[in-house]
Chain A
Amino acid sequence: MHTVENFDLFAPRLINKQELLSSGHRACSGCAEVLAVRLMAKALGENTVIASATGCMEIISSMFPTTAWQVPWVHVAFENTAAVASGIEAGLKALRKKGKIDQRYVKVVGMAGDGGTMDIGFQALSGAMERGHDMIYVCFDNEAYMNTGIQRSSGTPMGASTTTAPAGKVSIGQKTWKKNMPEIMVAHGIPYVATACPSYPLDFIRKIEKAKSIQGPSYIHCFSVCPTGWRTPSHTAVSMGRLAVETGVFPLYEVENGHYRLSQDMPKKLRPIREYFKPQGRFRHLTPDQIELIQEKVTIEFQKLLEKAKFLKTGNE
C-alpha cells in the first residue's frame, strides 16, 4: 500500500523510464492489461524480443503501418506464441554462437491472453516449457475472449456471465471452475512461476525482473482487469485488481524451483469475495447462496496455497 501511495517517489528509482510500449495505441480506456504490458516492457528493457498471440494486445499495438512497439515484436497466430518464441530463442542462440549477431544477451518473451494460453495455446506452451527454452511466457488473463466479444474461456471464473456462457433463467453463466494455470506450469517443473497483477506494479516488475534473470523457462500469470468485459467502470480497473487479490480470488505468489512464497502484498486476512463481485456486471445475477458457494471454493484454494507456502517454503531448497 505504502509504496503505491508514494509511487511518484519510488518510481523514478525503481522503474525504467523508457517507454517501450508507446502511447497512442488503441486499447480501451481503463484497460489494466495494456498497463500490465507497458510495465512488463519497462521491466524487460530493450534487449528483448516479444512474440505475441492474436488478441487485444496484438491488435491495439500493431495496426499496420503503425506500431507501438519499441522492442522487436512479432505476431504470427493465435495458438502458437510459445512455439514462435521457442523458435526465436533457438534462432538467436544459433546466430550468437556462430558470431552472426552481436553477443549481447537477449531475452525472448511470449505473451498471450487467457484463451491464447489456457485453451488454444495450451499445447504449444506445454511443449515450449517442457523443452526448457530460455524464455519468459506471460499470460495476461482477463478471464474471457475479450477481443472477440467476451466469450467464455477456461480462465473465466465460475458464475461469470459471458456471451457464450450467459446468465439466464436456468444458467448461472460460467458453470466451471477457473483452470489453475499457474499450478499446471508448476507441474512442468520449470524454474520459476509467479502470479502478478498490475495493481501491484512493483511486485509485478520485480517478478518480471526475476524471470528475466533466470536461465530457462519461466511463466508469469498476470491478472488483467477488463472493464469492458467485466462490466465495471473504467476508472476502477486498478482497484478491481486489488480487490481480486485482497479477497483471495487471485492470490499473488511465486514458485521458485518448486518452492512457494506468498507475495508481501498478500493481506493476512482475506476480505469476503462479495466485495469483489458486487461492483462487477458479470456477477450481478448471482444470488447470495451462489456467491457463498464460490466463497467456499476460494477459501479452500487459498488454504491449499498457504499450506504449500508453509511446507514448500522458499529457502528450504
Chain B
Amino acid sequence: MGKRIGMEVAVAVAEAVALCNIDMAAVYPITPQSHIAEHLSDLVADGHIDCEFVTVESEHSAMSAVIGASGTGARSYTATSSQGLMLMHELLPIASAMRLPIVMGIANRAVSGPLNILNDHSDIMPQRDAGWIAIFVENAQEAIDLSIAAFKIAEHKDVMLPVSINIDGFQLTHMVEPFEMPTQEEVNEFLPPFVPHATLHPAKPVTMGAFAMSDYFTEIMKAKDEAVKASKKVVQEVFDEWGKKFGRPYKLVETYLAEDADILMLTMGSMGETAKIAIEELRSKGVKVGLVKLRLWRPFPFEELKAIIRNAKKLIITDRACSFGGPGGPVFSEIKSAMYAETHRPLIYNYIIGLGGRDVQVKEFVGMFEAVLADTDNKAADTYEFWGVRE
C-alpha cells in the first residue's frame, strides 16, 4: 500500500510518471505545465528516472521527438498546456494514425487571445478529432492514478493509441492535496514493460508514416475510427483492474446523487468538486439534483452517458470553452446530438463557465440550478449562455 501524503499536484504527476519506467520524455516549458517538466527534470537529474530527457526547443518538437522515440518502442511521455498544445496540433493526428502509445499530461489552460495563463478547456477542445484518447481528472488522486493507468491503456495491444490526461491548470496542477501514492512495486505489477509490434530498428526494417492517396486513405481513417471506438472497452477494463488493485475504481462517466435526480449537472475536470457541494446544499433543501462527471471525452461514452441522463427532466451541461458562432459549448453540442434520436430525454441547458481562470463558486452552481428551475416554460432549453458575464 502506498503512503498517504500531501504534495502539489503537478509535482505528484511527475512522481507518478517516474514510477512508470519511462524510457524517454521530451518537454518544453509552458505555464502551468512547467512544474511537471521541472520536477521530471529533478527526478532525472537525481537518477530517480532512467530515461533520455530531451529538452526541446518547442512543443512542436516535443511531440515530434516523442513520436520518434515511441516509434523505436520507447515508453515516451510529454506534457504541455494551451499554446503548446495548439502548436502540437498538427502532429496529434499523425501520432494516433501511427498508433503510437504516447502519454501526454495536459495542464489545461485558456488559449490566446488575449493571452491568459489560467484554466479552461479551450486548449483540448480543438484537439477533439485528433484520434487521441482524452481523459479528464478531478483531483490529485485521479491525476496520479490515471497518469499511470494511461500507459497501460495506450500500450494495450487492442488500443495502441496516444492518451492525454487533462488536468485543470492551476486550479488542480498547483493545488497541494492529500493523496495516496502507489509504490514502485505496485506500479511494476500493474504496468508490464511495453512490447511493441513494430519498431524503427534495423533488426526488422519497417516503413512508418507512408504516403497514402485516395485509394487507401478512407480505409486508414475508418481503421482509426474503429480503433478509437474500440478503445473504450479497454479503458474501462484498465480502470476496473486499477480499482481491484488499488481500491479506487473509476468509470467512464461518474455520478453523484444522480439516480433519482430531476435536474442533473454535467462537469468535466476539477469543477465537479465545487458542483458537488452545491448539490449537497440543494439536496438538503429537498431539491432533487445530481451530478454527472464526464471522465472520458474521447472515445465518447455514448451508451454509458445516455443510461445515466435519460430519466432526468433537465440536464445542465457546463462547458469550459465555446465554439464561436456554433452550437455553444462543445460538450453541450456533443451530448445534444447524442440525445437527438432518444424519445425519452431531458431538456438540455448549457452554461459556459470558468473561462480563463474565472472562479466559479458554490453559489454560482446553485445559481445555475435555480435558473433552470425557474425556467418553467422551458424557454432557455437547448440554448447556451455565458455564465456570470459582467455587463
Contact = CB atoms under 8 A, between A and B. Distances in A.
B201 A101 contact: yes
Interface in A42-59: 46-49, 51, 58-59
B200 interface: yes
Contact of B68 (A63, A71, A91): A91
B207 interface: yes
A94 B210 contact: no
B69 A80 contact: no
Contacts of B211: 58-59, 62-64, 75
Contacts of B94: 76-77
A106 B201 contact: yes
A74 B200 contact: yes
B205 A76 contact: no
B56 interface: yes
Interface string A68-84: 01111111110110111
Contact of B213 (A63, A75, A77): A63
Nearest to B205: A72
A127 interface: yes
A127 B56 CA distance: 7
Given A83-B56, A106-B202, A76 B68 contact: yes
A95 B199 CA distance: 12
A70 B205 contact: yes
A315 interface: no
A69 to B, nearest CB: 5
A101 B209 CA distance: 22
B391 to A, nearest CB: 44
Question: Which among B26, B211, B220 has the highest number of chain A CB atoms within 10 Å?
Answer: B211
A81 to B, nearest CB: 8
B51 interface: yes
Interface stretch (B72-80, B163-171, B310-318): B72-80
A103 to B, nearest CB: 11
B24 A94 contact: yes
B83 interface: no
Contacts of B72: 49, 88, 91-92, 95, 101
Interface residues of A, number: 51
Interface residues of B, number: 47
B54 A64 contact: no
A73 B204 CA distance: 11
Nearest to A50: B200
A217 to B, nearest CB: 13
Contacts of A240: none
Given A49-B200, A80-B91, A90-B69, A65 B210 contact: yes
A77 B73 contact: no
Contacts of B389: none
B346 interface: no
B61 A95 contact: no
Nearest to B216: A64
A100 interface: yes
B226 interface: no
B57 interface: yes
Interface in B27-63: 50-52, 54-58, 60-62
Contact of B57 (A51, A71, A124): A124
Contacts of A63: 210-213
B208 interface: yes
A126 interface: yes
A86 B68 contact: yes
B201 A72 contact: yes
Interface of B: 23-24, 26, 50-52, 54-58, 60-62, 64-74, 76, 90-91, 94, 98, 193, 199-203, 205-213, 216, 220
The 7 closest A-B pairs by CB, nearest first: A87-B68, A127-B57, A87-B65, A91-B69, A91-B74, A91-B72, A83-B64
20 contacts: A49-B72, A62-B209, A71-B205, A72-B206, A76-B98, A77-B64, A77-B91, A83-B60, A84-B71, A87-B70, A87-B76, A90-B54, A91-B70, A92-B72, A92-B200, A94-B24, A95-B73, A104-B202, A126-B57, A130-B57
Given A87-B26, A94-B74, 13 more contacts: A46-B205, A80-B91, A87-B64, A88-B72, A89-B68, A90-B26, A90-B52, A91-B71, A94-B52, A101-B203, A106-B202, A123-B58, A124-B60
